[in-house]
Amino acid sequence: MSGTLRISICDPNEGTRDNLKKYLIGMDKVWLEADCSRYEFFSEIVDQTTPDVAIVDIDDDETTALELIEKLSRTHPSCGVIVVSSRTDGQLILKAMRSGAREFLNSPVQIEELVGALDRVAASSDGATRSKSASVISVAGASGGVGTTSIAINIACALAQNPDRSVVLVDLDLALGDADVFLEMIPDYTLLDVAQNISRLDLALLRKSLTKHESGVYVLPRPIQIEDGGSISAENFTKVLGLLKASFSHLVIDLSKSYNRLDVAALQSSDHIVLLTQLDLPCLRNVVRLLSSLELYDGVQDKVKIVVNRTGLDKSQISSSKAEETIDREIYWRIPNNYSVVSECRNNGKPLIRSAPKAAITQSICELAEKLAGGFVVEESEDKKGKKSWLKFLSK
């Protein structure tokens, strides 16, 4: 199964084993090869299933379990072993690592920690069958009405065109978010429901509580009542993101313009931050202010990509070179202005790839989405830049 991480687990305790299985079964790009309740049988199961990762809970009999891990590391060096234990003392961790374990997880296992451990084991292994947790793209705006929702939704729909991806869109504009209207959907549950029930949700339930748009994008909308936004804690929201990252290959987050604690949590969890601006002074001034504020959070500023929306809107726009000089950053991408196409897409609840697949704005957003996802794209064809365009592989 190319691109999938194959896992076998061994845990004599039914409760913790089922818990682990529940997490793994719901994860995107993870295949549960086998689950075993006896240490003495597991070595043979690994011989037969040759998984990429073996997860062993050692609580039932530490000595036997550590001997098993030592044997697995010897006989299957390419299989990454993850140890699970309710004990956390340094001696035990050291023993597990010396037996050949690559990761040590504390029981009860938290989904974010499991995803992190699987990522690290996958990254340290060679071979082609490697999974990775989701890529998170936050779309932020330098001013109200700059196009954040329009671009976030259309990036998500563009990404979902590739059937190998599973995409979820989170509407973080808690008061006035309109992602659901944009996609003409009436979701059953909102971010509030998911955040409030986060401790009880598993991946299968999470997927069930999200509504799937015909483009393939799953949507997690803002709460129904404006006043409910305040009851979502940053801690629970971060857990929601952790669960979504375990279940989807791509998360697109439509940020609010208030840059509150949830927006900051999203920014910290992101791989890419698309900061949308227009070529006018108020927007550019806010870009400078935002970049300066983001310095407070480790590593966040480096993830920011400045994307200009509505280029060619009118003659009074500030030039790209002047804008770059003002913000002291390069412009990463430019999206052309096309009000009639975007407003038609909004009013009819159809994403651009459906309502205007050939329009230059649609092509531009699709190329931006691929560039962010690390795909094969046509480098921004700037006749606009006065240069020749060429095909190029772009990495993240």
> What is the contact surface with ligand ADP in residues (CB under 6 A)?
141, 144-150, 309-310, 335, 337-339, 342-343, 346, 361
CB of 143 to ligand ADP, least distance (A): 8
Residue 109 touches which member of Mg ion, ligand ADP, none, C-beta under 5-8 Å by kind: none
Helix (H, G, I), strand (E, B), or coil: what is residue 354? helix
CB of 145 to ligand ADP, least distance (A): 4
CB of 141 to ligand ADP, least distance (A): 4
CB of 172 to ligand ADP, least distance (A): 11
CA–CA dist 394, 382 (Å, integer): 17
CB of 154 to ligand ADP, least distance (A): 9
Residue 376 touches which member of Mg ion, ligand ADP, none, C-beta under 5-8 Å by kind: none
Nearer to ligand ADP, 100 or 147 (CB): 147
- Based on the shown chain and the rule CB under 5 A, indicate whether residue 143 belongs to the binding site for Mg ion: no
State the residue number with the nearest CB to Mg ion. Answer: 149
User: Parallel, antiparallel, or unpaired for β 167-171 and 218-220?
Assistant: parallel
Helices 111-124 and 234-247 pack at an angle, to 10 degrees, of 40
Residue 160 touches which member of Mg ion, ligand ADP, none, C-beta under 5-8 Å by kind: none
Residue 309 touches which member of ligand ADP, Mg ion, none, C-beta under 5-8 Å by kind: ligand ADP
Nearer to ligand ADP, 107 or 148 (CB): 148
Single out the segment in contact with Mg ion by CB under 5 A; choices: 85-93, 142-150, 207-215, 314-322: 142-150
Cβ atoms within 10 Å, residue 57:
23
Beta-bridge partners for 36: 10
Q: How many residues bind Mg ion (CB under 5 A)?
A: 2
Helix (H, G, I), strand (E, B), or coil: what is residue 288? helix
Nearer to Mg ion, 143 or 149 (CB): 149
CA–CA dist 146, 308 (Å, integer): 9
CA–CA dist 40, 38 (Å, integer): 5
200: CB partners within 8 A, 6+ apart: none
- Based on the shown chain and the rule CB under 5 A, indicate whether residue 149 belongs to the binding site for Mg ion: yes
- Based on the shown chain and the rule CB under 5 A, indicate whether residue 154 belongs to the binding site for Mg ion: no
Helix, strand, coil content of the chain in percent (nearest 5): 45, 20, 35
Residue 334 touches which member of ligand ADP, Mg ion, none, C-beta under 5-8 Å by kind: none
Nearer to ligand ADP, 114 or 172 (CB): 172
CA–CA dist 66, 383 (Å, integer): 63
Residue 242 touches which member of ligand ADP, Mg ion, none, C-beta under 5-8 Å by kind: none
Nearer to Mg ion, 13 or 260 (CB): 260
Cβ atoms within 10 Å, residue 378:
15
What the block records as the tokens of 186 is 């009436």
Nearer to ligand ADP, 239 or 346 (CB): 346
CB of 213 to Mg ion, least distance (A): 17
CA–CA dist 241, 266 (Å, integer): 8
What the block records as the tokens of 279 is 């070529």
Nearer to ligand ADP, 108 or 145 (CB): 145
CA 325 to chain centre: 32
Rg for the chain, CA atoms, rounded: 23
Nearer to ligand ADP, 139 or 198 (CB): 139
Q: DSSP readout, 6-52?
A: EEEEE-S-HHHHHHHHHHHHHSTTEEEEEEES-HHHHHHHHHHH--S
CB of 267 to ligand ADP, least distance (A): 16
- Binding residues (CB under 5 A) for Mg ion: these are 148-149
